[in-house]
Amino acid sequence: MEKTSAAASKNVNVDELDFSRAEDQIKALEAFRANAIPNLEADFRTNYKGKAGRKIGIVGGDRKYSGAPYFAAMAACKAGADLVHVFCHEEAARAIKSYSPDLIVHGCMKDERDLLETKEDMKEKLHNFEPKEREDWLIENILLENCREILSRMDAMVIGPGLGRDRVMWACAKKCFEVARQRNIPVVFDADALFMIDTSSAWSEDNEMEKYKSHNGYVVFTPNVREYTYGFDPNNPCGTTMSHVRSFLELGRRCGILHSGHRIYPSILAKGVDDIYVHLDGSQEGPIRFGNIPGSKKRCGGQGDILSGVLAVFLAWSAEQYRREFEQRDAEHATIEKAKDHFRRSSKLACFCASKLTREAARRAYEKQKRSLQSSDILLELPSALEDLFPSDVVDFNDKDDENMNNNNANNNNNNNNNNNNNSSRRTKVKRERNY
């Protein structure tokens, strides 16, 4: 990859890029590396756990599905996350804990069977509650009691892998989304969460409105071709898709998830032969096709989960970039329009880079495994693909620093040559003395 200066990389106009051209794809990768990805080499003395890689939460995994949340979580790990927590059903938790010690697994989510058992145990305490109030109180105060504080620490969240179709699991996922919006962190909706949103009855309308202070955040929906029918069709962003997303967000406000002044910036990253990006806030943009990015020629379960985990990390880095550049450094001049423009561009860039990395890892895995390819093989290729696309040993792209570095290297080489010559002279002298 040809090196570009820091100023040029940071000031790339994302709106002018053609994401199907190889040259522009390189510019996009370098822009994301220069602007969003933490610099490990420069900041390693001040890094602490969770600072550079951030903390990612995966919400999903019912009694039957433990693989999907595992793939999403491990993809987040391999993409650069420092800590990854999985919030799932206790039966899925047992399996996921046995898959990898790198994940922190919480078996805090419950299903309808658990709810019935819990109600039976607490009949006396719930005697004065109405049936609907009993369910809400149990989910709020019992089922998620041990995980709410941990959920609030996350820097990004993926909701959906292995979530299933159980209404109580959906209610738990809704509570997780409420915490995410309180914390103003990016949220990726994938898999069963898209069906959950399509089924509007999953969202209760009886909760009181709760006002939050924060105003900006990413929400990305990642449907595959079959899930387009849930109302997330990137080829029809101005029709049913836009009305569907607006209905979901408006329902979220009625549920107390969003305050009327709380702005979120929804996008779609649709998976297919070519991944397609659509930005859905106000000035709708897209569909933008991420073309000419080779991937695996075999489709197997778990590839979409890997993409969602990678995307969560990249959005967490983009959100940190926003806080660094707008909320801290330029808070006085930050406006809704500036924020809107930043989230639109950075969301598009993060989605492209996540798509590129996932497809590159899948391509490498397919070249080795062919018909035997599984998603676990793609996970093995993520680290090398990540390092090739976003090298971590580059401290700065600045041309002046590169020149100084080259001069220092030249001086060091001269010094090493002089030292080698001196050492050689000493050895020759000692040898001669011994001969005498």
306 has pLDDT over 90:
yes
Position 260 scores a pLDDT of: 39
Per DSSP bridges, beta strands 275-279 and 265-270 are: antiparallel
Q: Would you say residue 285 has pLDDT above 80?
A: no
The larger pLDDT score, comparing residue 428 to residue 419, is at: 419
**Residue 305: per-residue pLDDT:** 97
User: What phi, psi does 156 have (nearest 5°)?
Assistant: -165, 160
Q: pLDDT at residue 293 above 70? A: yes
Full-model pTM: 0.81
For the chain, give the percent of residues with pLDDT over 70: 67
Q: How confident is the model at residue 238, as a pLDDT?
A: 63
pLDDT at 200: 56
Q: Given this model, what pLDDT does residue 364 score? A: 97
pLDDT of 262 reads 47
What is the pLDDT at residue 203? 45
Q: What is the mean pLDDT of residues 265-290?
A: 85
Please report the pLDDT score of residue 258 as a whole number. 45
The reported pLDDT for the residue numbered 353 is 97
User: pLDDT per residue over 323-376, tens digit each?
Assistant: 777 655 555 555 667 777 888 889 999 999 999 999 999 999 999 999 999 999
pLDDT at 288 over 90: yes
pLDDT digits (tens, 9 = 90+) for 245-259: 666 655 555 444 444
pLDDT at 101 over 70: yes
Do residues 241 and 231 lie in contact, with contact meaning Cβ atoms separated by under 8 Å?
yes
